[in-house]
Structure 1
């Protein structure tokens, strides 16, 4: 088996793990407060990964630590918004497709942060994505639910985090970067959980029962640590274009699992909306592949 084929196979497995992660996270939120869930899940995964790659961590320079923490802060904000969106969402499939818009928002984020020009070629996938979002929210009237707003904000933050990470961390070992980012998310998430509890005058407790802690541990090890480790490993074996196209499968698996496992009901317009968003991402990736190919020949 060639290295590229092996990498592609691992990435398909990663998309399945990510889809299962949506279901696990939705189940965990039945037992664990949202901010505690993100904080503890990320902190456990980050510390465990840090123990594994501690040699790389101690070799990082001060500027590398600073940029890793900064991108981790963006990651934290994105995940805190995401978990609120998931908490208020009735359909994990719909939520996952809205989150997948982060891919399309990357050029927009680059424009906002660095003033990068948005190619006219990207206007087509952007228009398709907006149309798909419109169909997702179409009922008797077009109405954005609170979950949609949280997820759209999270998608934009993920896009900003991706842009900043790709610009500034090229020389940072990816596993060390992931450990710092996850640990930063864990600290911010737990801090937000404490502040939220004090604001609501709730009792601070971690005594949620064995089932709640079981979900936290499973999500920490399986959908955070194992997923990111496999994804980083696989992306070393395959091309960026292959990876981009394969990772599009995540919302597809999530939607199918939501329908067949959670018995979620999707209306025709919502299926059409998901299809348009998926098509917009595929078109976006094809445009990127064409640009990379032209740059390579130049």
Structure 2
């Protein structure tokens, strides 16, 4: 198998694991306090990554370690909104598509904070995404439900995290950066849980099973698959495959939670996906042209 194809398969596996992580998380917090669940999930995931990046961490300057930890606080904010949104929602499919809007929130935040003007593709994709969001939420009238509002806040905080993290990621080893941010996020959630949450006296074995799946599959294995896939897969191709995460999540939610998907929600999801594809159109077209240049006599699948 060609390395690029193998990379695509790793990326596809990562999206499936990420989608399953929504299910694992919602089932786990049925018996665990939300912040405590996130805290232990991320602390254990960081400890699993630590042996693979210990040397890189020792070689990182204290200044860069502090900056990585500060960006980890933005991840903490994102996870607070996300896990609370999941705990207040009946399904997970709608939330996954709302969260996918974070990609379209990155350019306006970059414009506001770093004075980087959005591209033309962004302005073309924005009204499509707004129409899709309206169709997703019109069941609540003109107002957002609590879970929808929390998912929007989670999407906004994820875009903020991405803006800062993408500018800092080149200065430190990616696995070391991930380990630091997972650890910071986990510790902050455990502090919050210790101060404000009440842990149950008895936790069923089934809940621990969902928790274990979250740590090993949806966090650690997903990160390994995503990192390996990005090493071999083309950037534009990887981005296109990763857009499938909310699609898998909707299918899981419909199957597992019997989440209702009336026709307007289906159209809303489709419009959001179309907006994301429209926004990525320039990089996808550049990738296609580069492939044609490398293989001028070969038909593209």
CA root-mean-square deviation: 2.0
In structure 1, the partner of 2:296 is none
In structure 1, how many angstroms separate the alpha carbons of the residues matched to 2:10 and 2:239?
A: 13
In structure 2, how many angstroms separate the alpha carbons of the residues matched to 1:61 and 1:140?
A: 50
Equivalence map 1:269-284=2 (5 Å): 269-284=264-279
In structure 2, how many angstroms separate the alpha carbons of the residues matched to 1:132 and 1:120?
A: 19
| Aligned equivalent of 2:208, options 209, 213, 220 | 213
Equivalence map 1:113-132=2 (5 Å): 113-132=113-132
Offset, 1:290: 4.7
Q: Is the 8 A contact 2:20 2:249 kept in 1?
A: yes
What residue ranges of structure 2 are gaps of 5+ in the alignment?
294-301
Q: Is the 8 A contact 1:67 1:169 kept in 2?
A: no
In structure 1, how many angstroms separate the alpha carbons of the residues matched to 2:50 and 2:200?
A: 26
Deviation sequence 1:204-228 (CA, Å, 0-9, x none): 5675343333322221111011101
In structure 2, how many angstroms separate the alpha carbons of the residues matched to 1:223 and 1:215?
A: 10
Offset, 1:67: 2.0
TM-score by length of 2: 0.91
Q: Alignment length, in residue pairs?
A: 291
Offset, 1:141: 2.1
Q: Is the 8 A contact 1:75 1:161 kept in 2?
A: yes
133-142 or 73-82, which moves further after superposition?
A: 133-142
In structure 2, the partner of 1:47 is 47
What residue ranges of structure 1 are gaps of 5+ in the alignment?
none
Q: Is the 8 A contact 1:64 1:169 kept in 2?
A: no
Q: Is the 8 A contact 1:73 1:185 kept in 2?
A: yes
In structure 2, the partner of 1:13 is 13
- Runs of 4+ in structure 1 deviating by more than 4 angstroms, as ranges, are 204-207, 290-294
In structure 1, the partner of 2:238 is 243
Matched, 1:147 2:147: yes
TM-score by length of 1: 0.92
Q: Is the 8 A contact 1:81 1:150 kept in 2?
A: yes
In structure 2, how many angstroms separate the alpha carbons of the residues matched to 1:127 and 1:71?
A: 30
